[in-house]
Amino acid sequence: MTCKIVFICGCAIFLLISCASKKNLIVLLPDHDGQVGQIVVENKGGTQILTEPRQATEIRAVDISPAPPVSLKEEQVLKEFGEALSALPEPPIRFLLHFISDTSKLTPESQRRIPEILRAIEARKSKDISIVGHADRVGSRKDNQRLGLERAVSIKNLFVSRGVDPSGVEVVSHGEDNPLIETEDNVPEPRNRRVEITIR
pLDDT score, position 89: 82
162-185 burial, b at 16+ Cβ within 10 Å, e below that, comes to eebeeebbebebbbbeebeeeeee
Residues of the chain with CATH 3.30.1330.60: 93-199
pLDDT for the residue numbered 44: 86
Average pLDDT over all residues of the chain: 88
> In the prediction, which pLDDT does 22 show?
59
pLDDT averaged over 10-residue windows placed end to end, the chain, 200 residues: 44 38 78 81 88 89 90 90 85 96 98 98 96 98 98 98 97 97 97 97
Q: Supply the pLDDT for residue 126.
A: 93
CATH topology of domain 93-199: 60s Ribosomal Protein L30; Chain: A; (3.30.1330)
63-95: buried (b, 16+ CB within 10 Å) or exposed (e) per residue?
A: eebbbebeebeeeebeebbeeeeeeeeeebbeb
How does 109-148 read in b/e, with b if 16+ C-beta sit within 10 Å?
A: ebeebbeebeebbeeeebeebbbbbbbbbbbeeeebbbbb
